[in-house]
Structure 1
Amino acid sequence: MLIPRTPRLSLPIATLALLAGSALSGCNSQRPLQAIWEKGDFYYGTKDYAAAEAEYQEYLDRRPENTTVRYGLARSLAAQGRWPEAREEYRALVDINPLDDRFVDGYVDAMYQTGDTVQLLDFLNQRAAGRATVSDHLRLGRYAQRIGDIDGAKAAFANAARLDGGRSVRPWVAQADLFAQIGDTPNELLSLRRAAYVDPMNPEVQERIRTLGAIPGPTAGVRPAEFVDPAPVRR
């Protein structure tokens, strides 16, 4: 009795079968995305930024649309001093979500670190003019101050104070910091007094007033010209 022989696979079919098996094995060996993300966060938290970068990049190779992981990658690159690469990642994030202050702050810092002050100020001026928010004008003022554009910084901080009706401490403290930098003590103290009017119990403001030789306390405040009284609550 003849025993039927199993036909041999031709070489191309056998090769394809092996490749398919290898591919299936490779897919099964991929780490879960959540585990990669968490590993990246762990390495970033331990300041092993190169390892964090590798984890975040592996995640993004498979899921590039995750902005939180891309933000982690951008921060890891920045922490390693690789500012041009960080700038590209932050730019991509700003393009996706221009309203996220984390992305904007990272992007403008990367531009500053790479020495591109012209594009930096152009970007910040466009945002301040377009959105007209207190945060945008404060950001513009801080970077103008760092670059040495004192008049631009003064104007930005004044606009920030005007936009919120003079009722926020931040523009006045920013002004005080600017005047302290250029040695203008009278205007530094005046800015702090305006901040004290807005928030009489602010310990930082009161301490700075004391340091400048003035008397802190409830009577230290000076009402800003920009101050707008809150609208009465209708009952």
Structure 2
Amino acid sequence: MEIGGTEPDRSTSYDAPNRGSVSTDPFYRSQTRMVHPRLNRLPLVAVMTAAVLLPFTGCDSTPDAPTDLLMEKGDHDFEWGRYEAAAEHYRHILDREPGDPLALEGYGRCMLALGRPAEAAESFSLAVARRPGDRDLLVLLAEAEFESGELDEAFDLVRTWALDNNDAVAWYKLADFARRSNDPDTARESIIRAIEIDPDGSASYYLLAAEIDMDLLQNTTSALRRLRQAYGLEPGNQEIADRIRAYGEIPGPTLVLPPGP
């Protein structure tokens, strides 16, 4: 599918469903269910009627559905892991409005979930051009480029954003890329920057720091310290508790360490 063209007048962003494998991920943690905000301006009867009828009207009628309802269908299918069906809904929007940044983002997310990062990167790149100040979109583009093997481009994107904006999430993502690339120095320096900027921001900063300490630096003492800090931020997180137990410790209030670099 060729995607591009003039941007429609639909610049309002939306939150996406949880795409992260770890609940504490600072980028994905806030990405809740995608519901296009323009649905709020539709009459309730119209929305309810369409929600009932669309599943039974067949694929032939779907491309003719209102854009807002196609967006809602795409978001719903994505949330339930039906990525190909979701991509089709977003593609119908792009067929009529090629530059729609919301549909471009949704389509890119589907391609990423389906293991087609090059197509995801193309879609995210077009979306970023239309929403240049959107950090989350830029991180998605960087992830797609990283998974496509364009490592230099991915690193440059997040590093530039991190330096220009003193952004903790961008530093976290840079540390993640460095860990996955077996670059311990960059990984350690970047995650420390993220923690310095926003020490209370996310337990995932400390989880990643623990992984870097253990996997790249073989420093089990520092890794456990990071897990204890993560536990202090999210004491109910079972993943953190399980990792602490793997070190022979018993999670509890006395194990908590304050956040910080």
Q: Which amino acid counterpart does residue 96 of structure 2 have in structure 1?
A: R
SS of the equivalent of 1:64 reads coil
TM-score under structure 2 normalisation?
A: 0.63
Q: Which amino acid counterpart does residue 108 of structure 2 have in structure 1?
A: A
Contact kept in structure 2, 1:145 and 1:153, CA below 8 Å: yes
2:205 to 171, 183, 192: 171
Asked if 1:221 corresponds to 2:253, the answer is no
Deviations 1:125-152 (A, max 9, x none): 1011011122111111111111111111
Q: Which residue number in structure 1 is paired with residue 220 of structure 2? A: 185
Deviates more, 1:35-44 or 1:103-112: 35-44
Contact kept in structure 2, 1:200 and 1:221, CA below 8 Å: no
SS of the equivalent of 1:219 reads helix
1:84 to 109, 118, 137: 118
Matches within 5 A, 1:129-168: 129-165=163-199, 168=202
Aligned Cα root-mean-square deviation (Å):
2.9
- Supply the distance in 2 between the matched residues of 1:166 and 1:73 (Cα, whole angstroms): 33
Q: 1:52 to 1:208 in 2, by over 3 A?
A: closer
- Supply the distance in 2 between the matched residues of 1:214 and 1:52 (Cα, whole angstroms): 44
Contact kept in structure 1, 2:124 and 2:140, CA below 8 Å: yes
Deviates more, 1:89-98 or 1:115-124: 89-98
- Supply the distance in 2 between the matched residues of 1:171 and 1:141 (Cα, whole angstroms): 9
Q: Which residue number in structure 2 is paired with residue 116 of structure 1? A: 150
SS of the equivalent of 2:255 reads coil
Q: Which residue number in structure 2 is paired with residue 21 of structure 1? A: none
Q: 1:93 to 1:48 in 2, by over 3 A?
A: closer
- Supply the distance in 2 between the matched residues of 1:54 and 1:167 (Cα, whole angstroms): 36
Q: Which residue number in structure 2 is paired with residue 33 of structure 1? A: 66
Contact kept in structure 2, 1:200 and 1:218, CA below 8 Å: no
Q: Number of aligned pairs?
A: 195
Q: Which has the higher contact order (CA 8 A, sep 6+)?
A: 2
Q: 1:215 to 1:104 in 2, by over 3 A?
A: same
- Supply the distance in 2 between the matched residues of 1:91 and 1:99 (Cα, whole angstroms): 13
1:71 to 105, 126, 140: 105
Q: Which amino acid counterpart does residue 117 of structure 1 have in structure 2?
A: L
Following superposition, the deviation at residue 176 of structure 1 comes to 0.9
Q: Which residue number in structure 2 is paired with residue 199 of structure 1? A: 233
SS of the equivalent of 1:139 reads helix
Contact kept in structure 1, 2:109 and 2:120, CA below 8 Å: yes
Unaligned runs of 5+ in 2: 1-62
Unaligned runs of 5+ in 1: 1-29, 227-235
Deviations 1:66-94 (A, max 9, x none): 22222222233334443322211101112
Deviations 1:171-211 (A, max 9, x none): 22221122232343222112123334x43734443442232
Following superposition, the deviation at residue 119 of structure 1 comes to 1.2
Q: Which amino acid counterpart does residue 245 of structure 2 have in structure 1?
A: R
- Supply the distance in 2 between the matched residues of 1:115 and 1:121 (Cα, whole angstroms): 11
